[in-house]
Amino acid sequence: MRVLLALGGNAMTNAAGRAAPQDQIAAAAVAMEAVAGLLERDVEVLITHGNGPQVGNLLTKNELAASVVPPVPLDWCGAQTQATVGFVLMNALDAALVRRGIRRRTAAVVTRTLVASDDSGFIRPTKPIGRHLPAEEAEVLIGHGQTWEDRGKGWRRVVASPEPLDIIDGPVVRSLVEAGFVVVANGGGGIPVVREPDGSLRGIEAVIDKDLGAALLADTVGADVLVIGTDVPHAVLNYGTPDAKDVGTVTAGQLRAFAAEGHFASGSMGPKVEAACRFVERGGTRAVITDLDHIATAVCGDAGTVVVAS
């Protein structure tokens, strides 16, 4: 069984969402212990991850230091987070494998994802990145031309998030998997690139949704199962109300109907639900949305919100 595990922000930050190096190293250790457990059971695992906190922090650093060192664009920041998070995850996984006496090589691949230059996501920013701020601080940055939104946890910057169309470096990832490497790839949904009229690729300033990127990567590498690791054990109907109800096993059609009724927030559970539906509709065996504690049982469909085609 080939499983793609998509790690959400909680797997790369502390409980409060802080992404200091020690927080990321500690969170990666927990997540990679679960991955090592799967590898011990001979499950073939690939890993992808979010980068929302990291890429937003890096963008802010660039902007603050712009008068001292040349700033780099958002797609460069995305590339840097793929490399850094990949390095942290590899170190954590190598340590977990050594503890269990498992001999496997790990690899982190910087990957590019094709997007359309006329994607509507470039007109209406939707992807939250970086830290949360109080309204008065966000207002100053809005005055400087940035887009910030409050989705209930404080104000957060939002940037363009186009649809992922093709993982340019997918065949490299697949080759490494088939050669026996445990691969970390397509972090942050991939570095967004557009195709120029002469056929060359150019980076473009955006952050792709990592869950939608994960659904595409899962297709590209022929994964049987997509596990989307987040901070809750299930998708929930009527979330935060007395009528809240966990979603167990569900078809993509049923889950899309729940989404159409407005049950899943656009910046959080919504893209996970969409990614899970896309994956099974394109032939995946099952997609599971759950928390890190349930990854081991989720791969067999025994935990979380289990999405099947029909």
Ligand X SMILES: NC(=O)OP(=O)(O)O
Residue ranges binding ligand X (CB under 6 A): 8-9, 50-52, 188-189, 207, 209-210
Q: How far is the CB of 151 from ligand X (least distance, A)?
A: 12
H or E segment at 258? Answer: helix 252-260
In the residue annotation, 9 being an active-site residue is answered as yes
Instruction: Report the residue number, 157 or 286, with the smaller CB distance to ligand X.
Output: 157
Instruction: Report the residue number, 126 or 220, with the smaller CB distance to ligand X.
Output: 126
Catalytic pick among 8, 121, 127, 130 = 127
Rounded Cα gap, residues 192 and 75, in angstroms: 7
Q: Which residue is nearest to ligand X (CB)?
A: 50
In the residue annotation, 10 being an active-site residue is answered as yes
In the residue annotation, 210 being an active-site residue is answered as yes
Q: How far is the CB of 43 from ligand X (least distance, A)?
A: 23
Distance of CA 213 to the CA centre of its chain: 7
Q: For the beta carbon of residue 233, count every other beta carbon within 10 angstroms.
A: 17
Q: How far is the CB of 30 from ligand X (least distance, A)?
A: 16
Rounded Cα gap, residues 128 and 188, in angstroms: 12
In the residue annotation, 272 being an active-site residue is answered as yes
Catalytic pick among 78, 188, 272, 304 = 272
Using only C-alpha atoms, the chain has a radius of gyration, in whole angstroms, of: 19
Cβ-contact 186, 51 below 8 angstroms: no
Catalytic pick among 10, 51, 57, 186 = 10
Rounded Cα gap, residues 301 and 285, in angstroms: 10
Q: How far is the CB of 224 from ligand X (least distance, A)?
A: 23
Instruction: Report the residue number, 210 or 286, with the smaller CB distance to ligand X.
Output: 210
Instruction: Report the residue number, 210 or 234, with the smaller CB distance to ligand X.
Output: 210
Instruction: Report the residue number, 52 or 170, with the smaller CB distance to ligand X.
Output: 52
Looking at the chain, which runs of residues are DSSP E strands? 2-7, 44-49, 106-109, 112-114, 127-133, 148-150, 155-159, 166-167, 182-185, 191-195, 201-203, 225-230, 236-237, 245-246, 249-251, 286-291, 305-308
Q: For the beta carbon of residue 162, count every other beta carbon within 10 angstroms.
A: 26
Q: How far is the CB of 65 from ligand X (least distance, A)?
A: 23
Residues marked active site are found at 9-10, 127, 210, 272
